[in-house]
Amino acid sequence: MWEAIGFYALAIFLIYFAFQTITVPNPIHSALYLVLTMVGLSAAFFNLGAQFIAGVQMIVYAGAVMVLFVMVLMLFDLKAEIRAFSQGLFSGGLKVMSAALLAGLAIGAANSSVAILDKPVEAARAPADVTRQLGLLLYTKYLFAFEALGLLLLVVAVGVVAVSRIRGGTHAQR
């Protein structure tokens, strides 16, 4: 019973964060709400017993993809973007229609997946310790590549900040 209550409470927070992601006018706040949505989704996977998917969700989406989003946001003149895209009836209507279209697509996908699940399918058998073997391989044989990728992402982040601050950039110091 407590697991169900926790799951539904988490689902309510996820819906709220996802809704805020598409409705707040500030792109930085939108990116932060998207991070909260990704972290909440990872918690939902963890709650459902899919710890590996929860970890991958945190590392890949809440970590790496959001770093890229924020780096792209740093390249824009956010004040001009907010003025251009957060005013007017057309912009608001377009946002509502996009949200309705995405909700319709999600409901249609859920309905079709339920129909697929009703059919008996023979489950593929995978070795029980695939996750353990993957972790051992990643942190032994490919440890240098894993750490080099982290360092590369750090260098890219510093480079984006440096490029956005040079003379003539969108965030140039005047």
Residues 13 and 79 both lie in one domain:
yes
Tell whether the model's pLDDT for residue 169 goes beyond 70: no
At 151-161, the pLDDT tens digits run 787 777 777 76
Residues 25 and 98 both lie in one domain:
no
At 80-117, the pLDDT tens digits run 655 655 667 777 788 788 888 988 888 887 777 666 66
Mean pLDDT of the chain: 76
Residues 9 and 44 both lie in one domain:
yes
Domains of the chain: total = 3
Residues 22 and 74 both lie in one domain:
yes
Residues 73 and 103 both lie in one domain:
no
Residues 77 and 98 both lie in one domain:
no
pTM score of the predicted model: 0.53
Residues 26 and 68 both lie in one domain:
yes
Structure-token pair, residue 149: 């990728």
Tracing tokens 């709650």 back to the chain, one arrives at 47
Tell whether the model's pLDDT for residue 171 goes beyond 90: no
Tell whether the model's pLDDT for residue 76 goes beyond 80: no
Instruction: For residue 31, give the CATH number of its domain.
Output: 1.20.120.1200
* Alpha helices (H) along 86-125: 89-118
At 14-60, the pLDDT tens digits run 999 999 988 887 777 888 888 889 889 889 888 888 888 888 888 88
Q: Could you tell me what percent of the chain has a pLDDT over 90?
A: 4
The parent domain of residue 26 ranges over: 1-87
Burial class (CB in 10 A: 0-12, 13-18, 19+), 20: middle
Residues 41 and 94 both lie in one domain:
no
Q: Which residues of 34-68 are buried (b: 16+ CB within 10 A; e: fewer)?
A: bbbbbbbbbbbbbeeeeeebbeebbeebbeeebee
Residues 3 and 81 both lie in one domain:
yes
Give dist(CA 54, CA 41) in Å, integer: 8
Residues 94 and 159 both lie in one domain:
no
